[in-house]
Each structure stands twice: as structure tokens, then as C-alpha cells.
Structure 1
């Protein structure tokens, strides 16, 4: 069977008759099961089971298509005995390697693929769209969306897919084929990937995150580094993050693949970087030893001409990936000029009096929060949530000179309070408690969380002075209180807007 799986390198291969277990009935699990059933595979889906309407609908569709869906805790406590002879397990990224089902699969010698690995093997045999892949602790979504904008400005039919929202399998099997796919990959997805060969790949940065899933920082970094393996044209790395360059040096790439750096400083040979206010390319020009191509200006990224440093870094990474594909400089400029950041990523919400409110709820770890805290000189910081084992000592110490106040919420708010007491004792701190919401109805929970954010905004206004920025950059995950970082950001923005029409502080 191992030899047969090795031959499954495109969608026209002989998939029929395989016995495959798909773990998880989420968006990616459903997409995987659907694609496999269409090719005559015997599919069994395992999920802990919920009463969510979307899961009911997916289960019904898969049943009609001939699949089997087993839902409930009893089906995921171990690999069911009748599935021990399966040929393959396709797992969703949320399932950790130590999950009992996956441990049992390994014990029975059953290969495990992630849904991204399956997507790569479902590409067309001839003429498949190349992949430009991006990972990193922070900035992945912004970078792939910038890249998508640049590719479209070049006249290419392109899509941002993967961890960004659109399942990459859906993009690969789209009835109107894409010219190129910009793929955001999480460390979870990379852990379960084995054969992806991107045209160009990039690790934006690396800092401790998801240690509860991977077990250690080294294992987390090793998962990220897998993105460079088998890269064909360019491995793009962050000159200002030495670990990413080391990952390139250790990668097993296609013969002739180049290492291309990006930096917010002046670029050296085979790098993209910043020359005064110009994004410059010294990697993909013929006379790169003596000249550079102008790609865009800082004003193209932000009309103020002063975009946040991490936004510049993301733009340079996106530009490097696009240039590896052969995109002309003018399209890079046009794409970056048209790009608008997604919600909850350093998004200006509103102003109350002379106090600005900024939503960066996407900053779910200390590394991401550090980037947004560097963007403003006078900050009332809204922080807290689930730290997932992350250390915030360096973050708080470095941010201390910019902090004018802090409002803390969430499960680990005391960790933040203690760090602030050590490194910024002069900063006034307010803590906002939240009642347990798990037993509440949906409407009760929404009202309660709205009230919590109203209190957060009230405290922030008490601490802020004219010209200050109230910055939601939690440095922690949201699931202790909210359904997602987006829900947390929206609750914050709604609370701000409830105050904004009043024209100032109470």
C-alpha cells in the first residue's frame, strides 16, 4: 500500500478503493472527505460531534455522497477497531499528534497526511498552478493577502488560500483553474505535510508560539522549517531573524533554488529592502551587484508615508515571492497600493475626543503584540487572554517606555499584571473581571461580553490623555472568553463606537 500511496501525486491517479479515515468535520475535513469520495475512496469521518447546524449539514451531504460519518466522543477516544486496517488517515490541523486516534494510527502503521498534503496530491497532472507558500509566527495572513493583490495586479488569476480562510483543497479543485495560489501555512499544517514543492517559499519570522501543541519551541520551529523543503526557485528568509536564514541553509531544496533575503534595512546582494522610502529589489534584477529595481514606496503602503515596520517587512516578503514568479515591478507597486489589511490587524476603529482606538486582536502572541506596540509612542494597552505557555517578560519590559496605562482581561490577566508591576511599576493598571459564560445562552453570553468590553473602554478612556492610542493587542488567545480573535476585536470595536458619538470622555 505504501507504494500505491507514493503514486498518488495528482488527481488523475488511481484513488479508487482506498480506505481513508478523515479526522474532523470542520471546513477542511469536509473538503477532504468530499474530494476523496468523488474519486471513489471509501471514507469514514470521525468527529467528537456537536449540534452545530453546519456540522449536521455536512454530515448529511457526506452521507448522500456515500461516506460514513461517526460523531460523538466515543468515536474519537481511540481508532475504532474496524478502521485499524485503513490505508490512510487525513487529519485536520486542529488534531494534535498525541490525539488517541492519531497515536493509534501510528501504532498500526497507517500513514497520516494533513489536508494540505492531500491538496498538493490533488493537483492537476499537467499544468497545475504553482504554489507560493508563506509561514511564520506573525504576519502570514497580511503577507499572503498582499501577495494575492500583487499577483492580481499582474493580471494573473490568483487566490490566497490555506490557513487564511479558503481551504487550499478547494482552490486546487476549483472548476476555473487558478494561474497561481498564495498559500498560508500554519505550523500545524506543515507538521502533517510531506511532499509539497512550492515554486517559492517564505518563513517571515519565528518566535515561541503554540508550544502546547508542539511540545517545545524546537519542534515548533522544525515544523515551520519544513516549508523550505523541495522549494524550486527561491527560499525567502528574514535577514533580521537569523533563525530563518539557518532554516534555508539546512533545507533540502531543488537544484538551483536561491536564498533571497528581505530586510527593513538597506538590502545587500540577493535581498529586497528599504532605501530611504523606496522598497528596492537587489535579488531579481540582472545587474544586482550594481543596481536595484524600485518596487514601491512607503506611501504606496500607507498614505501617511509611515507604515508600521512589520507591515513594510510583510510587503517586502510578498514582493520577493511575486518576483520569484516573474512579476514585474509595476505590478508589485499597483498591488501593494490597492491592498487593504483584513479586519483586526492594526485597524483604526474610531476616535473618542482626541483618543484613538486601534484593534489588533489578531495579535494573539507576544511577538505579534510587540510589533503593534512599536507602532505608537503613547499607548493605553488592552491585553490578556490565554497565553498558551508564552513568556511575556521581554514584551512588557520593551514596551514599558511607551505605556501610559493598561487594561487587562481574560484568564491570564494576573500574569500580565505581575509583569507590569516588575517592569513598568509607574503604569496604572485596571483589571476587568468576567463572569463564567459557558452555561449562558448565546444571547446572554453576547450581552455579557458586550458589557465586559464597555467596561474595558471606560477604563481605557479614564487612563488615556489627548493624543494617546488605546491599543487592543492582547498578546494572548481569545478562546477563554470569545469564539475567536475576530469576535474579540468586533466586541472591542462595537464598544468603542458606542462611546464615539458622544464626542469624548465622560
Structure 2
């Protein structure tokens, strides 16, 4: 068995290491390609024998010593490599610890890494700069925050890139010939489960809500995976003052001596925090006289066209990360001004008759939708979809007073209706009447019913809305009952609103 403890740089001796890579998606392909380049002997397994996977398999076979096993059953058996047991498994994030192949590796005491663990170990390479890592996780807001941090770092003149769960595989960035000054790494709980030695410059957990319990086995296991991000942090372990569980994670973490706990809050910050005062984002953490002074970072209105509270919190978390790297205050502001938010994330679509229309189709669970609802005073809420058994009572109870009306989409609205009846009995509930036979199917199978249901939802919302209201499409549910994705749902909403805006006002 190879001594994996010695494999801590690109230039270590990886040659001949017998590695099984599970999954041939973006991260699995990137891991296999990297290991082949390092000289390892690689076998890739994936139960999906698709045309796309066959093409990726052909590419791997061309570039080096790799076998690829596709099709049903291959994902359940730990294969031999050159007649011997594997010395390492590198797992894709979607593979649960209870999946038979992973369980067999654990039973045989074969280490299981993720692509992030592999990336951490090969990040140092002779002749190239070694990037610092700023890492973050959370139930919601991850992609927005890493993108904001990337923009701030670039505004400071640094070569920086957002990687990981955000889209660019981290190993692709590690292998970039020019290298980077800083990588901002978005990490899911799945990735963190398989990460063991990472020691970032700064880390943050944005928030915690119940999610992915089916993968982890329990909420406690999910929370424990998230907390791993703080382990071995060297400069700043950043927590959400308004989500106390994140502070307890920091308190319990085994960080490097000298690492500081830094809070972020949408209230007035105490010492060693970043927060808000008099319409400004301010820093009372990264300065000498933090007991008596603060540094202005930006204006709240610099956060975006719709400076919703949760987006301001994301901006503060991003600022806390990049300030740990020494980014000057003016780069925080410039980065926020340059930042372009992604579609379907609290996206302003139109305003007419003093009614604002917002697309937040990315709000696919109650925790994310609650953040959107809390950003507006009076809301016509378009909600519903594939609920996956979540509980809507808290989100309705907490936001009942701000609801002008609720427009229901989705095939099964039972849970949301029950919560509305109990906690908001006087709020009008308007239901769409098309697309009631959705259900999972091939890509594009929901296009007609999805378009029709959203057009009707927008018309119903327009009838209910009054001047000063916000029409918010934040479904608090997945989309696959009537749409192919949250993006298609958001696009259908935006198109329906545009068509509405083209009609003459009555």
C-alpha cells in the first residue's frame, strides 16, 4: 500500500498508484484526467452508460493508462487494478457513503478522497505560484458569495477564480499553466465529507438549514460535514452572527494557532465583525483600533439593484473572506459595483405602476425563499412546485403579515395550502388551473404546460398587486413537476412578465 501521507504536492511520486475514480461527470473526469497526468493507474466507474460518458471515456483512454467501466452494476463493485486492490478511491460528490462501492472501500480501509482533497494535495507545483484558498459553504447563497468574492479580488488586481461547486472543477484551476493568486472555493456538504487535510487561509459557513438528509443520513451528519470547512483554517474563521450554529462550529473547530473568529451581521457590528451602520458596509475586524473605529467598505446600495438583506449578508461574508487575504476596502466596493448577479437569483425583471417584479426561481427550498420574502414589505408571492416533503409552516408564519396574496403553481400544493390556511387565513390564495398533469419526463416535456402555467400565474399576480407591492416568484420548491429546471421556470416567468409589460395598462 502506498504511503498517501507523502503525496502532498504535484511533484510527489504518484506513479503507479492504483486509484478508482467514481463518477464520470465534471469533477470525476477532471480527477481522472489529473491522476493520469500524475502517472497513476486509474479505473473509472459510472453506472450511466450514456453517449456523453462514452465520449469522456474515449478521451481518458487516449490520454493515458485508464480503464472505464460503464453501465449498471459497475458502480456497486470495487474493481481490482492490475490484479490488486485499489490503494485509493477518489469519489465524485454525488456518491453517498452508503453506496456499495464506497462502503466496500471503507470496510477494506481504503482511503476515500474527493476531488477537493486531491486538489489540495497537488496545489503546490515547482515553477508555478501556489494559490491561497478562501473557502465557503452553506445551505443557501454559496454561488452568489463566491462570485462576489471573486469580483472583489479581481478588483484588487489579483488573478482570482471562483471554483468548486460553482461550476469550474477545482482541479482544472490547479492545472492552469499560469496559476492563480487566490482560489475562492465553493464547497457542498458532499465535497466536504470527502475532504480531510485542507488548510485554507479563510473559511465561512453562510447559514445552515435542513437539507440533503437523504445523502448524509441525518441532519447532524449534514451539519458535521459543513463544520469540517473550519478545520485547520489559518487566518480567519468567519461565521454568521445571525445563525448561531455557525459560531458554535467555529468554537469547536481545530483551527491553526492564531486564527481569528470573524463575524458578519446585517446589524451593527461589534468588534471583530463586519456589518452595517447608517447605510454602509463597515469593517470592525481587519484594523488595529477595532474597539473605537471602523473602516467603510461600501454602501448598501452598491450591493445591487435589489439590495435584499440576504444579498447584503452574502456581500459581507465575501468581504470578510477577501479582507482576510489583505484586499483593501476600496476593492470591496469596486468589486461589488462590478459584480453581475446570475440569472434567477432575486433578479429584478420589471417595474410598472410602482409594482416591482422579481425572479428568484433559484429559491428551491423554504430557507432560500424566506430570505427573499424578508427583503420586501408587501408581496404577491408566486410559490409552489415539487416540494420533496418540506414543511412550509415556518416560512408562512414568519411572513404572513407581508403577504398581499399568494399565487400557487405546481402539481401538488397541499402542504403550502395547509400552511397558508393555518398561518395566513385572510390572505387570498389564487391557484393556476393549467399544467396539472406535470410529472417527470424527458427534457422539454414540461415546456407547454410550464409556459402556460407561468403566464396564468403572472396574470393572477398582476390582478392582485397594488402600488408599492413586489411580485416575487420565489417558489420554495424544486421545478421538475412542471419545468425541466429552475432556469426554465425563471425564463418562463421573465417572458410572461415581458409580455405583460407590452400590454397597455388598464
TM-score, normalised via structure 2 length? 0.93
Q: Aligned pair 1:13/2:15, yes or no? A: no
Count residues with an aligned counterpart.
500
Secondary structure of the corresponding residue to residue 165 of structure 1: coil
The CA deviation string for residues 53-112 of structure 1, in whole angstroms up to 9 with x for no partner, is 533331221122232222212212443467881111111111122122212222222211
Contact 1:211 1:388 in 2 (8 A): no
Q: Aligned pair 1:108/2:108, yes or no? A: yes
Aligned runs of 1:28-427 on 2, under 5 Å? Answer: 28-51=27-50, 53-66=51-64, 67-80=66-79, 85-125=85-125, 127-302=129-304, 307-351=307-351, 355-410=355-410, 412-427=412-427
Contact 1:269 1:288 in 2 (8 A): yes
Contact 1:212 1:388 in 2 (8 A): no
Structure 1 residue 203: Cα displacement: 0.9
Match of 1:459 in 2: 460
Contact 1:383 1:413 in 2 (8 A): no
- Which has the higher mean CA deviation after the structures are superposed, 480-489 or 59-68? 480-489
Structure 1 residue 448: Cα displacement: 3.4
Structure 1 unaligned regions, length at least 5: none
Structure 1 residue 229: Cα displacement: 0.2
Structure 2 unaligned regions, length at least 5: none
User: In 2, Cα distance between the equivalents of 1:351 and 1:483?
Assistant: 27
User: In 2, Cα distance between the equivalents of 1:213 and 1:48?
Assistant: 18
Structure 1 residue 26: Cα displacement: 1.0
Secondary structure of the corresponding residue to residue 495 of structure 2: helix
Secondary structure of the corresponding residue to residue 292 of structure 2: coil
User: In 2, Cα distance between the equivalents of 1:132 and 1:356?
Assistant: 35
Structure 1 residue 391: Cα displacement: 2.5
Structure 1 residue 158: Cα displacement: 0.4
Structure 1 residue 356: Cα displacement: 3.0
| Change in CA separation of 1:491 and 1:21 when aligned onto 2, cut-off 3 Å | farther
Contact 2:372 2:474 in 1 (8 A): yes
The CA deviation string for residues 405-457 of structure 1, in whole angstroms up to 9 with x for no partner, is 222233552111111111111222234443245455x4554333222322332
User: In 1, Cα distance between the equivalents of 2:256 and 2:125?
Assistant: 19
| Change in CA separation of 1:25 and 1:480 when aligned onto 2, cut-off 3 Å | farther
| Change in CA separation of 1:439 and 1:322 when aligned onto 2, cut-off 3 Å | closer
User: In 2, Cα distance between the equivalents of 1:437 and 1:405?
Assistant: 26
The CA deviation string for residues 248-274 of structure 1, in whole angstroms up to 9 with x for no partner, is 110011111111111111111111111
Contact 2:438 2:449 in 1 (8 A): no
- Which has the higher mean CA deviation after the structures are superposed, 216-225 or 384-393? 384-393
User: In 2, Cα distance between the equivalents of 1:473 and 1:258?
Assistant: 36
Secondary structure of the corresponding residue to residue 76 of structure 1: helix
Contact 1:150 1:336 in 2 (8 A): yes
TM-score, normalised via structure 1 length? 0.93
User: In 2, Cα distance between the equivalents of 1:388 and 1:15?
Assistant: 43
Contact 2:447 2:483 in 1 (8 A): no
Contact 2:439 2:481 in 1 (8 A): no
User: In 2, Cα distance between the equivalents of 1:478 and 1:21?
Assistant: 34
Contact 2:446 2:484 in 1 (8 A): no
User: In 2, Cα distance between the equivalents of 1:481 and 1:50?
Assistant: 27
| Change in CA separation of 1:422 and 1:495 when aligned onto 2, cut-off 3 Å | same
Structure 1 residue 501: Cα displacement: 1.6
| Change in CA separation of 1:68 and 1:296 when aligned onto 2, cut-off 3 Å | same
The CA deviation string for residues 337-370 of structure 1, in whole angstroms up to 9 with x for no partner, is 2222111110012346654321111112211111
